[in-house]
A and B are shown apart, each in its own frame.
Chain A
Amino acid sequence: MYRIRIDRNLCIGCLTCVTACVVSHETESGDARNRVVIDSETTPAPIFCRHCSKPECTYTCMTGAMHKNPETGFVDYDKDQCASCYMCIMSCPYGILKYDSIRHKEIMKCNMCVHRSEDGKTPKPMCVEKCPMHAITLEEVKE
């Protein structure tokens, strides 16, 4: 499967990836599905969904809205099935999830921008394309 490698040494915290995420998804609220936070040593840390091999967000989902796609390995999210219970927000060990800031209904969940590719399942993350420092790169990894 594919994951986004994060090289913190290259990241300058410019937030271009966050902007790219907003643009790619055109979410009504303009919320991003990634974030860049600053640690206690003032070093930026890009926080992106890992599409975990053992995804806590799927284990805690009581509607099946959050589920691992066996074909792509990505954790897919079905906003129409979601009950907006927010258990996934609580269960994500790395604090990546939140709800949209207008309706508080939809979980802001990375989909690796598969909606941008022709077959709808190949990852095409805009954050990676736009990062001026190449601090984030798309790589094939073992689950």
Chain B
Amino acid sequence: MRYVIIGSSAAGINAVRELRKYDQEGEIILVSKDEHIYSRCILHQYLSGERTLERLNFAEPDFDTLYKVNWMKGREAISLRPADHILVMDGNEELSYDKLLVATGAHTFIPPIKGLSEAENYIGFRNIDDIEVLKDVSKKAEHIVVLGSGLIGIDCATGFLHMGVKVVLVDFAGWLLNKQLDERAAKTYIDAFKAQGVDQYYGVGVDEVRVNGDHQIYEIALSDGTVLPCDFFVVTAGVRSNIEFLKDSGLELSRFGLVYDECGRTSDPDVYGAGDVSGLSPIWPVAVKEGMVAAANMTGHSRKMTDFFASKSTMSFLGIHTMSLGIVTPPDDSYRVDTYDKNGVYKKVVSRDGVIVGALLQGDLAYGGVLQQMIARKIDVTKVKKPLFEIDYSDFFHEKANLEFAYDL
């Protein structure tokens, strides 16, 4: 049996581990554009110099020998012929497979901004190569403008700040981390970035980047008329899945990405998918679990992905810690909101009809994991007599025969 996995990030690496667990003899080939295994979530610590490339590695140092993997690094998938069980790689090299896992992830989306197609001094914030460029840029550029103030944009701004470089943030949304934070929690960060000298423009778009004869952006015009000087532009305005090589494969694709079911099965019985390539739930734990689930099914062990709750994140920008879960701003007044706001600690739990739908913890995240379970499992919390932001496992305590805990419903 020959398994081929494309992609060496969260989904691909965990798929390899799981494949080897179920099949000690099968041949495993890992194909990746990346030449190193590294965690994209901590690239800002590589930018700032807090972490070396080796310490971005989230796998075992001897990963390929440990799991007996033939790792074809620095290689790119070009096209796929599912009927022939053939993956075509760069150089038109054909690689046959019995079972294939597509875990190719996503790439930076470059929005169609006027002038940008002529420019050369812009980049995304996703791959190690992007960071190598930005390390160099940080030494020379004086006016770095970052488009987007989501988790990646703020990661980027923070990485630069560690090096003493103050970027300018621009976002169409009304406040930073708009998907994760309510206005109150966002203000803590906005004020903290302001105190660090980071200029921020919210509620405005980029109308145009102005480019000189050397293809260099020198100015950025915002929708409110503001003109910002700029000598490097970083784009963090979302991602698109890496499905270009599948366009003639006949595999079912959606407008977001590769289509696969809760077992990781695509429209072809021998091709599986996992991770950001679906374009649906682009977060680390989902990619890990999808990789594991797909691998189990590839080896004939039936397993289903059940945890699709993906609107969750934690952050610790500028030493301010926040956990965000589900709906943090109630859409109407039919929701109950429990809040606590004192001495730098802000806690908010949004619920309706005895079910928690969202929560924000800022300044104190201790033991917050229970909240995620309450939201994801839609657990009835009417029996809990303490404030919802102090909820803990005691009211749900259940010890199984093997002494694990469980939510016994």
Give A contacts to B, CB under 8 Å. Answer: 3-6, 8, 35, 37-40, 43-45, 47, 50, 52-53, 56, 59-64, 81, 83-87, 89-99, 104, 139, 141-143
Q: Is the CB of B399 within 8 A of A95?
A: no
With A64-B58, A89-B323 as given contacts, are A59 and B288 in contact (CB-CB < 8 Å)?
yes
Partner of B365 from A81, A93, A98 at Cβ < 8 Å: A98
- Chain A residues with CB below 8 A from B60, complex form: 64
Tell me, yes or no, whether B407 is within 8 Å of chain A by CB.
yes
Q: Interface centre among A43, A44, A64, by most B CB within 10 Å?
A: A64
Partner of B316 from A50, A56, A81, A84 at Cβ < 8 Å: A84
Give complex CA distance A35, B187 in Å.
Answer: 32
Q: Interface centre among B285, B288, B319, B407, by most A CB within 10 Å?
A: B285
Give complex CA distance A61, B403 in Å.
Answer: 23
Give complex CA distance A60, B405 in Å.
Answer: 18
A-B contact sample (12 more), CB < 8 A, given A86-B365, A90-B372: A37-B394, A45-B393, A45-B397, A83-B45, A84-B316, A90-B323, A90-B369, A91-B285, A94-B369, A95-B367, A104-B316, A141-B401
Give complex CA distance A91, B376 in Å.
Answer: 11
- Chain B residues with CB below 8 A from A84, complex form: 316
Q: Is the CB of A87 within 8 A of B386?
A: no
With A37-B392, A45-B394 as given contacts, are A62 and B370 in contact (CB-CB < 8 Å)?
no
**Would you give 13 A-B contacts (Cβ < 8 Å), ordered by A?**
A3-B403, A6-B399, A50-B404, A56-B369, A83-B39, A85-B314, A86-B321, A89-B369, A91-B372, A92-B369, A94-B369, A95-B393, A141-B401
Give complex CA distance A61, B325 in Å.
Answer: 17
- Chain A residues with CB below 8 A from B339, complex form: none
Q: Is the CB of B285 within 8 A of A60?
A: yes
Partner of B41 from A4, A59, A62, A90 at Cβ < 8 Å: A62
Q: Mark B309-328, 1 if CB is under 8 A from A, else 0.
A: 00011111001010101000
- Chain A residues with CB below 8 A from B404, complex form: 3, 50, 52-53
Q: Is the CB of A90 within 8 A of B42?
A: no
Tell me, yes or no, whether B71 is within 8 Å of chain A by CB.
no
Shortest B217–chain A CB gap in Å is: 32
Q: Is the CB of B58 within 8 A of A96?
A: no
Shortest B345–chain A CB gap in Å is: 12
Q: Is the CB of B42 within 8 A of A62?
A: yes
Shortest B404–chain A CB gap in Å is: 5
Q: Mark B252-267, 1 if CB is under 8 A from A, else 0.
A: 0000000000000000
With A5-B403, A63-B42, A83-B42 as given contacts, are A93 and B370 in contact (CB-CB < 8 Å)?
yes
**Could you count the A-B residue pairs with CB atoms below 8 Å apart for me: how many are there?**
140
Give complex CA distance A87, B286 in Å.
Answer: 12
Tell me, yes or no, whether B389 is within 8 Å of chain A by CB.
no
Tell me, yes or no, whether B10 is within 8 Å of chain A by CB.
yes
Shortest B286–chain A CB gap in Å is: 9
Q: Considering only CB atoms, which chain A residue lies closest to B9 in the complex?
A: A62
Q: Is the CB of A91 within 8 A of B369?
A: yes
The list of the 8 closest CB pairs from A to B, nearest first, reads A98-B366, A39-B394, A92-B369, A45-B394, A95-B370, A3-B403, A95-B367, A86-B314
Give complex CA distance A41, B57 in Å.
Answer: 46
Q: Mark B384-395, 1 if CB is under 8 A from A, else 0.
A: 111000001111
Tell me, yes or no, whether B302 is within 8 Å of chain A by CB.
no
- Chain A residues with CB below 8 A from B384, complex form: 40
Tell me, yes or no, whether B383 is within 8 Å of chain A by CB.
yes
Give complex CA distance A38, B119 in Å.
Answer: 61
Contacting residues of chain B (50-77) with chain A, CB-CB under 8 angstroms: 51, 55, 57-60
Q: Considering only CB atoms, which chain B residue lies closest to A98 in the complex?
A: B366
With A60-B284, A87-B284, A104-B319 as given contacts, are A94 and B405 in contact (CB-CB < 8 Å)?
yes
- Chain B residues with CB below 8 A from A63, complex form: 39, 42, 58
Q: Considering only CB atoms, which chain B residue lies closest to A38 in the complex?
A: B394
Give complex CA distance A52, B285 in Å.
Answer: 16
Give complex CA distance A38, B402 in Å.
Answer: 24
Q: Is the CB of B58 within 8 A of A61?
A: yes
Tell me, yes or no, whether B127 is within 8 Å of chain A by CB.
no
- Chain B residues with CB below 8 A from A50, complex form: 403-405
With A62-B10, A81-B55 as given contacts, are A98 and B395 in contact (CB-CB < 8 Å)?
no
Give complex CA distance A64, B55 in Å.
Answer: 10
Contacting residues of chain B (25-41) with chain A, CB-CB under 8 angstroms: 39, 41
- Chain A residues with CB below 8 A from B402, complex form: 3, 53, 141-143
Give complex CA distance A42, B325 in Å.
Answer: 28
Give complex CA distance A59, B14 in Å.
Answer: 9
Give complex CA distance A40, B402 in Å.
Answer: 26
Give complex CA distance A98, B321 in Å.
Answer: 12
Tell me, yes or no, whether B368 is within 8 Å of chain A by CB.
yes
Q: Mark B1-39, 1 if CB is under 8 A from A, else 0.
A: 000000000100010000000000000000000000001
Tell me, yes or no, whether B210 is within 8 Å of chain A by CB.
no
- Chain B residues with CB below 8 A from A45, complex form: 392-394, 397
Contacting residues of chain B (109-162) with chain A, CB-CB under 8 angstroms: none
Give complex CA distance A46, B48 in Å.
Answer: 41
